[in-house]
Amino acid sequence: MLRKDLGEFPYYRPGKSAEGKVKLSSNEADYAPPSFVQDAIHAAVQYGNRYGEFRSPELTAALAEYLGLSEDNLCVGPGASSIVQRAVRITCNTGDEVVFPWRSFEAYPLYVRMAGAVPVTVPLADDYSIDLRACAKAITDKTKLVILCNPNNPTGTTFSRAEFREFMDMIPDDLVVLIDEAYWEFNDDPERPDAVQEIQDYPNLIGARTFSKAFGLAGMRVGYGFAQPELAKAMNLVALPLAVTGMAEQAAIAALAHREAFSPRVEESKRQRDRIAQAIGAAPSQGNFVWLPRADAADVEQRIFDEGVIIRRYGDEGVRISVTSEQEADAFLNAWERAGLSKSDSHC
């Protein structure tokens, strides 16, 4: 009755939460949406009996202006994850391969398996950065898509534009590549590639971004993709119809219209991220989180939990700490100190 391969599907586990604990496990903003976003949501509620507009035309127009692209370059969906899923759908048949670095975003293997495709994981470099040359070497005749998360979640590392362009020159011109830029706004590496610019030179490239992180609208579920028209049209073709609600669309439009209001929050997140990394001896991060590699992950997670803070463990590889405010940073650092941890506990 069911698909025979369901038992092979990896189970996606979201960040934990618990009553009375400070949740630093899901890279969410530590603030409610601004009043102008709330007003837009409230105004849209009166139309809650209606479906949202097909393909979110008003938001698509706003994004085109924001990014300096044509509306034909764009697709909108419920989060950046939906864009990744569409990229798999438009490229893969059963048995095709999708290459991506690992460890990276937890849902990638699931999205690939759902399409009947085969995930091909490429180990990160020793410094937890994405090894683009190794990714290129992993490509075979069966490879139909490469997914690159930049900055990478959960490690916070980023690759440069020069490294990216070298990679693109190494692979077939008709192999689709998706850059997941969910944490784009937190990435202040001056050498970073900008997928909005890169799609001008690479017709096989898709970029994906979200309103969940820097704009603090995780609960609204709005993301977007951009590519040359041929790819964007295909992405829209396989989209789940009417998946973005009218309330979510209006929230995103309001956020874009007042985007300067979010800059101080993003800068605060960067400051507190860097503060935590320095305090506990972690490597710099370009996301709204800090990665502790080679830690006694289960022990660190539990000790921090016992002190009232939830962080996210990735097997025995490490833990990730979300941080978007001074209050969150204070809570974590106080828990770290009370737990008796030190910089040396960041590594085995």
Task: Identify the CATH number of the domain in which residue 214 sits.
Answer: 3.40.640.10
> Is residue 227 assigned to a domain?
yes
Are both 180 and 276 inside the same structural domain? no
> Is residue 122 assigned to a domain?
yes
Contact between 181 and 226 under an 8 Å Cβ cutoff? The reply is: no
> pLDDT tens digits for 225-250?
999 999 999 999 999 999 999 999 99
Which of 211, 239, 259 lies at the terminal end of a domain, its last residue? Answer: 259
Which of 259, 277, 306 lies at the terminal end of a domain, its last residue? Answer: 259
CA 340/CA 210 separation, integer angstroms: 37
Are both 75 and 89 inside the same structural domain? yes
Are both 182 and 301 inside the same structural domain? no
> Is residue 348 assigned to a domain?
no
pTM of the model: 0.96
Are both 240 and 284 inside the same structural domain? no
pLDDT in tens, the chain (348 residues): 988 888 888 878 878 888 899 999 999 999 999 999 999 999 999 999 999 888 999 999 999 999 999 999 999 999 999 999 999 999 999 999 999 999 999 999 999 999 999 999 999 999 999 999 999 999 999 999 999 999 999 999 999 999 999 999 999 999 999 999 999 999 999 999 999 999 999 999 999 999 999 999 999 999 999 999 999 999 999 999 999 999 999 999 999 999 999 999 999 999 999 999 999 999 999 999 999 986 689 999 999 999 999 999 999 999 999 999 999 999 999 999 999 997 755 554
Are both 53 and 77 inside the same structural domain? yes
> pLDDT tens digits for 161-182?
999 999 999 999 999 999 999 9
Domain count, the chain: 2
Give the number of other CB atoms < 10 A from CB of residue 46. 9
Are both 222 and 127 inside the same structural domain? yes
Are both 334 and 235 inside the same structural domain? no
> Is residue 316 assigned to a domain?
yes
For residue 78, give its domain range. 35-259
Q: Is 113 left (phi over 0), alpha (psi -120 to 50) or beta?
A: alpha
Of 108, 128, 181, the C-alpha closest to 151 is 181
Which of 220, 244, 259 lies at the terminal end of a domain, its last residue? Answer: 259
CA 230/CA 60 separation, integer angstroms: 17
Are both 88 and 217 inside the same structural domain? yes
> Is residue 4 assigned to a domain?
no
CA 273/CA 276 separation, integer angstroms: 5
> Is residue 49 assigned to a domain?
yes
